[in-house]
Amino acid sequence: MRIHVINPNTTAAVTQKIAAAAQAVAAKGTEIVARQSKAGPESIEGFVDGAYSLPGLLSEVVAGEREGIDGHIIACFEDPGLDAARSLARAPVIGIGEAACLTASLIAGRFSIVTLSGISVPAIRHNIIRYGLGERCASVRAAEVPASALDDPKSDARERIATEIERAKAEDRAEAIVLGSAMLADLAGPLAKDHGLPVVEGISAAVKLVESLKALGLATSKAGGWAPPQPKGYLRGLGLAG
Amino acid sequence: MRIHVINPNTTAAVTQKIAAAAQAVAAKGTEIVARQSKAGPESIEGFVDGAYSLPGLLSEVVAGEREGIDGHIIACFEDPGLDAARSLARAPVIGIGEAACLTASLIAGRFSIVTLSGISVPAIRHNIIRYGLGERCASVRAAEVPASALDDPKSDARERIATEIERAKAEDRAEAIVLGSAMLADLAGPLAKDHGLPVVEGISAAVKLVESLKALGLATSKAGGWAPPQPKGYLRGLGLAG
Amino acid sequence: MRIHVINPNTTAAVTQKIAAAAQAVAAKGTEIVARQSKAGPESIEGFVDGAYSLPGLLSEVVAGEREGIDGHIIACFEDPGLDAARSLARAPVIGIGEAACLTASLIAGRFSIVTLSGISVPAIRHNIIRYGLGERCASVRAAEVPASALDDPKSDARERIATEIERAKAEDRAEAIVLGSAMLADLAGPLAKDHGLPVVEGISAAVKLVESLKALGLATSKAGGWAPPQPKGYLRGLGLAG
Amino acid sequence: MRIHVINPNTTAAVTQKIAAAAQAVAAKGTEIVARQSKAGPESIEGFVDGAYSLPGLLSEVVAGEREGIDGHIIACFEDPGLDAARSLARAPVIGIGEAACLTASLIAGRFSIVTLSGISVPAIRHNIIRYGLGERCASVRAAEVPASALDDPKSDARERIATEIERAKAEDRAEAIVLGSAMLADLAGPLAKDHGLPVVEGISAAVKLVESLKALGLATSKAGGWAPPQPKGYLRGLGLAG
Amino acid sequence: MRIHVINPNTTAAVTQKIAAAAQAVAAKGTEIVARQSKAGPESIEGFVDGAYSLPGLLSEVVAGEREGIDGHIIACFEDPGLDAARSLARAPVIGIGEAACLTASLIAGRFSIVTLSGISVPAIRHNIIRYGLGERCASVRAAEVPASALDDPKSDARERIATEIERAKAEDRAEAIVLGSAMLADLAGPLAKDHGLPVVEGISAAVKLVESLKALGLATSKAGGWAPPQPKGYLRGLGLAG
Amino acid sequence: MRIHVINPNTTAAVTQKIAAAAQAVAAKGTEIVARQSKAGPESIEGFVDGAYSLPGLLSEVVAGEREGIDGHIIACFEDPGLDAARSLARAPVIGIGEAACLTASLIAGRFSIVTLSGISVPAIRHNIIRYGLGERCASVRAAEVPASALDDPKSDARERIATEIERAKAEDRAEAIVLGSAMLADLAGPLAKDHGLPVVEGISAAVKLVESLKALGLATSKAGGWAPPQPKGYLRGLGLAG
């Protein structure tokens, strides 16, 4: 099967990190097709970046559909455009925030999310409540680390992240950590070792959920809010409708 | 004061209807500046139309800000882009769905929403829960009327809407009706008369809330999720950041 | 239009403060008719004061109705008697607690309420949950300041209030402050300046909501719990029923 | 011990019915002191009657306290003044609505409330949500029976009540019935027999809860919202404070 | 009447403590029949102990039924097997966790639970949410005291419990304390005295609730989830079905 | 990897059906080890069967752990013993009710559960609320079909199930169906075809979730309520602790 991992920002280095995280857990026989939006934000933090990421993201969804892709992953923790993508796709669509949090709920009574920037926190909180995980999510914490610092060996990014994880354990009684940004994908293993509790990363979690849905023969129901849009003129103009 | 009423679709006839509804309740001294998106869906029903409306909508928000507008109204009942618009604006931003439902909660213990198309229902339900009005909203009903039928004297649009209102009264014990589409704006008065209960329409409700916030000297807090976005390259490219 | 601002306590100095706050934001053409209860508590803090305020408050509501008033405001943050007043009135009735919190929800993702006395906190919390704003209200804090201290230049009232506001910002991540007492009405402006975030005051917010409902032609639905009471003997005895 | 059963309306026939229901389950050694308000509504249906019942009700609470009563019951299903009464009393105070619903939750997964008049339904619903029983209460149904009809052998009151109970069983899957009015107290036994499921009546339930609290040595905590009111002038004027 | 107080663990000393607590509040005419499980955990802390306690516990329930007992109490704060016991019994069944928390809700706006071991906390939290008391329970705190230390005069058990109670008062604004373990039954009185607020203990609370249900003529509804199980072979094998 | 699929009842025919459902979706390289409890109920419907299934079920969990199994599935839709099994296992444990509902939430806005017997409904509802899916689950419906009828070609079992599915679509607006019993496992495919919407079955869903957790390197957190039990005597007696 082929899984379409869509980085809804335009930064190639992030797409590579995402592709590697997806590849690392893909089953034999799963091909990871990682792409990024052709236009839009270079990173997504908060509501404005999320809104502007949608056209680029949805174009990739439709492109993937036309290639007969077997499933889509929206590789941004804030899960932008998840409902719209599900409406446009016949194949399943999974957001990495949703994937990480549902997966964490299977292995921990209460988990905390550690994200990079405080501006993402309200969007993440909205999602948590919508996904019904309000009781299970002990806290959403921001390390206030700029994305650029993550790969800078001189930055204190790792220390800041470690501090929030330890606070989540001590103050919020978190039993597992969810990494709240696609850019943290490569840290799940090391952080789990350092802090002695499960660390869930969303890209890999989403790959397994898409593979699962495919194996189960399940795709998005078209009976409700995720029915295809009416073929209005603007969609034809974008080349997205008949 | 000047209120920017943004029709986030591209249909001029709808913009005129919206402008008329806004004008009808504007205080003396309030200037209504009604505009529509320059690109995007010709009408907004459901998640895909909502997603594609955002760039056009947000461009209008920023344009209004540059003119020193005193407040913005997003004139689509599904309240697309409300969080992003609040992040981009210094002036207050009100969605007509939010405005109508909060206003209804002041005059009715339980209200029902009657919208045009079933594909809008899940988006509206999400908003109701987020606004904390789950206990107050007795039902969300769709008359399954195409927008085009509303102004067609031979259609049964009015009968279908009347049927849903009567069902809301009888089956859901609705004490007031909220009109779930900007395109129904001109029907609030006649429907209230026909059905003998308050009928709340969102454009007019939003105008009064924006005027109120202005009079109170209140604007969107910039201390949380509605802080301005970082001035990333893509925003500069769109002419939206310094 | 004429708005009836009812101070449900019997202290004239408070009525004057309330009248001033209402007058300050009233639209041209709005006449503020500020009155106080003829009997009852001299201030309202907690459930007992709230209960004993009702007969005096409701008498004023009925008196206002007989004069053809266009709307009523219950000028106590705990919103005593709101349901009963809506049942007795044909004109809209707004509580200042409800008005302040709904208004705050339009400009802040999360707000904190700062009130004078801890004995008011449970009543306020009940209201917040009933209004559906549990997720939006970050905290309810009491400065433990006696009302009399507010106008005493030697008291530490202002310091105590400032301390709670700063704690709400730092510990509760409040993005706006709601002033939890009618007696704080004159402090909204100075506190907003001092603390650098929006401060919402309920009397002014309620004036704008009543003006709005009037402009929208909306009044309390009589189809549910706010239907007029049966004309029982006791109401006739009080001169309140036909 | 002596239990103060307060009928917060002024109708002696109801007080007798209430006294009989209390007496029927009182333990040996429990003295029932049933009284009614000296002034106020002749029956309580909805918010206005509830509000006007408070001064008369609270005067009885204070009078009972002065006699050293061991516990108070507010014998109206809408539980008016429960918070205020708890603030004024050292002895425990139980509302019959609260007593009936908590008791029903011990013997039925889901129960329905059948009350007399639709105007009481919103007040009852508010209480149910506040008591945390929203998931357990399958429905609140009104038989639309005037209180006067209950003792009129020619009325269809019993048929109407029976109809609502059968609907609650069939449509709402109720496993027990809670009688939603003090005036139905004498029907619990016959209705349980007729309909084949437990029928809970609040006066008797409240008597047992008060006896229980006394036996346990428990009384209302004075550490929060039920702390005594400040001894303001109006309370002294009413003879209710030192 | 005869009340069956079932200690679902196998430790006789605990059964004695439980019996004493039950006896201390039993009405004249109530016979306390305290028994313990014949097999299973020697104490119950957390989900595994709870699961393994069920067969022993349910056998006692059925044995009690056959003797015509008037009510059962499950004397473990985590309320193991409450639903199953209600299905097997004709007489009412009360869990001491449920009894303590409902009783506390009658005398305190917010209460905190203090239990012995942190491994019990998640099970208790689940129950609190299911009982609808999420808003009323300020915290669940564990003193991290081994049961064996309670009767060891040299241990610091009492200090640890006192510390958590003081924290609950200061940090969580608890207005009453619920003792979260049957093994703390004898401390309710002394702790109430020491800490100056009501302390609720579940065994005694449950005795009074069972006595109350008996007096009210109420028993578990058999119309829903607590209907008797089908008489399957395994139940016959256990001697538990016809 | 080896997945331990535990049928917590003692009926071999059901175990075979379960094994077949698991096998049908197992990845290459996944070995399905399907077993049934050695003692306990022959089928699980409602709370009593659930309680008596636990010792047999947990013995299988521990046996699997000793063999170094990679994950456990509790193959009963009511998810009995899920918390206790997680405490006893180092490998992940998934309940099929949880698996089916979480999976359904990825492909449908709202789903309905169709189970065999009404006595299972309350247990399923409790789980739905605990899993946070209350808003997503449109209804829990019972076809009232005895398990034995499922394989009887003369029974009306299939018609009854079809009727409930059609009602769920029409009355509850279900967008997908979750099969609420392990015994329905072989019907997912045919029912999806007949009714034209996704049908989710829990055994297959659980297999994919266990495979996913293994691939992700995740196992149950031992930091909270799922910590291993203390090695008490009874566990040693059962051969379950050191």
Q: Which residues of C touch D43 (CB under 8 A)?
A: 232
CB atoms within 10 A of CB E239: 10
A215 closest CB neighbour out of F110, F197, F208: F208
Residue F109 has phi, psi (to 5 degrees) of -65, -40
Output the pLDDT for position A242: 59
CA distances from C87 to A128, C40, D76, D180, F33 (A): 38, 21, 19, 21, 66
The stretches in chain C having pLDDT less than 70 are 242
pLDDT of residue B242: 60
Report yes or no: E170 at the D interface, CB cutoff 8 Å.
Answer: no
C98 Cβ under 8 Å from any chain B Cβ: yes
Distance from CA of B83 to the nearest CA of A (A): 6
Tell me which chain F residue has its CA closest to the CA of residue E224. F119
Q: CA B59 to CA F160: how far, in whole Å? A: 55
Looking at residue B144, its pLDDT comes to 95
CATH for D98-201 is: 3.40.50.12500
Amino acid at E122: P
Q: State the nearest Cα–Cα gap between A57 and chain F, in angstroms.
A: 19
CA-based torsion, A34, A36, A42, A43: positive or negative? negative
The pLDDT tens digits for C101-137 are: 999 999 999 999 999 999 999 999 999 998 999 889 9
Contacts of A221 in chain F (CB under 8 A): 107-109, 175-176, 197-198
What confidence score (pLDDT) does residue D210 get?
A: 98
**Chains within contact range of chain C (3+ C-beta pairs < 8 Å):** B, D
CA distance E77 to D103: 19
Taking only the tens place, the pLDDT of each residue in E192-217 is 999 999 999 999 999 999 999 999 99
Q: Which of residues 4-63 of F touch E (CB under 8 A)?
A: 10, 39-43, 45-52, 54-55, 58
Distance CA B215, CA B238 (A): 33
Partner C contacted by D79 (CB < 8 A): no
Q: Nearest CA of chain E to the CA of D127: how many Å?
A: 13
Token reading at D207: 């008597």
Q: Is F112 strand, coil or helix? A: strand
Asked if D193 contacts E170 with a C-beta cutoff of 8 angstroms, the reply is no
* Closest by CA position to E80, among listed B31, F84, D184, A175: F84
Band (F153; pLDDT cuts 50, 70, 90): confident
Q: Of E63, E94, E76, which Cα lies nearest the Cα of E238?
A: E63
Name residue B5's amino acid. V
F106-132 confidence digits (pLDDT tens): 999 999 999 999 999 999 999 999 899
Residues of C with Cβ-Cβ distance to D49 under 8 angstroms: 229, 232
Contact status, residue B150 vs residue B120, Cβ threshold 8 Å: no
Pair A178, A96: CB distance under 8 Å = no
Which of B130, B234, B238 to mutate to probe the A interface, most A CBs <10 Å?
A: B234
Within 10 A of C144 (CB to CB), how many other CB atoms are there? Answer: 13
Distance from CA of F139 to the nearest CA of A (A): 15
Residue B186 CB neighbours (<10 A): 16
Give the minimum alpha-carbon distance from F113 to chain A in angstroms, rounded to a whole number: 15
Distance from CA of F90 to the nearest CA of E (A): 14
Mean pLDDT of E6-12: 97
User: Is B97-201 CATH 3.40.50.12500?
Assistant: yes
Round to whole Å and give the CA distance between D102 and A42: 56
* Amino acid, single-letter form, for residue D22: A
- Whole-complex ipTM: 0.96
In this complex, is the C-beta atom of D238 within 8 Å of any C-beta atom belonging to chain C?
yes
**What's the CA gap between B61 and B72, in Å, rounded?**
7
Q: What is the mean pLDDT of residues E102-126?
A: 96
Instruction: Enter the pTM of the model.
Output: 0.96
Q: What is the pLDDT of residues A121-158, one digit of tens each?
A: 999 999 999 899 988 999 999 999 988 898 898 999 99
- Residue E240 clears pLDDT 90, i.e. is over it: no
For residue A114, give the nearest of A43, A36, A171 by alpha carbon: A171
C229 in contact with D at a CB cutoff of 8 Å?
yes
C-alpha C128: how far from its chain's center? 13
Q: Chains with 3 or more CB pairs closer than 8 angstroms to F? A: A, E
- Residues in chain D with CB shorter than 8 Å from the CB of C47 are 83-84, 86-87, 225-226
pLDDT average, residue stretch A172-190: 96
Q: Are D and E touching by the rule of 3+ CB pairs within 8 Å?
A: yes
Please report how many Cα atoms fall inside a 13 Å half-sphere around the Cα of residue F187, on the Cβ side.
22
In this prediction, residue D242 carries a pLDDT of 60
> Which candidate, F168, F164, F200, F205, places its Cα nearest to that of F184?
F200
Number of other residues whose CB lies within 10 A of the CB of residue B131:
23
Architecture of domain D2-96+204-237 in this structure = 3-Layer(aba) Sandwich (3.40)
- Do chains D and A have 3 or more beta-carbon pairs under 8 angstroms? no
Side chain identity, residue F139: S
- Contacts with A229 from chain B: Cβ below 8 Å: 45-49, 119
Work out the mean pLDDT of chain E and round it to a whole number.
95
Chains B and C touch (3+ CB pairs under 8 A): yes
* Inter-chain residue contact C126 with D130, CB threshold 8 Å: yes
Tell me phi and psi for residue F93, to 5 degrees.
-130, 130
Domains F2-96+204-237 and F97-201 belong to one CATH topology: yes
Is E229 touching F (CB cutoff 8 A)?
yes
- Cα dihedral F164→F167→F171→F172 (10° resolution): 40
Contact E58, E238 (CB under 8 A): no
Phi, psi of E176, rounded to the nearest 5 degrees: -150, 160
Per cent of chain A over pLDDT 90 is 91
- Of E126, E118, E71, the residue nearest E98 (C-alpha): E126
pLDDT of residue D151 exceeding 90: no
Residues 197-216 of F with CB under 8 A from A: 197-198, 200, 204-205, 208-209, 211-213, 215-216
Read off the DSSP letter of residue E227. Answer: S
Q: Does A127 touch chain F (CB under 8 A)?
A: no
Q: Are chains F and A in touch, 3+ Cβ pairs below 8 Å?
A: yes
- Amino acid identity of residue B8, one-letter, is P
pLDDT for the residue numbered F242? 60
Residues of chain B with pLDDT below 70 are 242
Beta bridge partners of D176: D111
What average pLDDT score do residues E132-154 get?
91
pLDDT in tens, B167-201: 999 999 999 999 999 999 999 999 999 999 999 99
pLDDT surpasses 80 at E241: no
Residue B54 has what pLDDT?
Answer: 98
**Close Cβ partners of A218 (under 8 Å, ≥ 6 residues apart):** A92, F103, F107, F198, F200
Domain spans in chain E, listed from the N-terminal domain onward: 2-96+204-237, 97-201
The shortest C-alpha distance from B119 to chain A (Å) reads: 5
Dihedral sign (CA B178, B183, B189, B194): negative
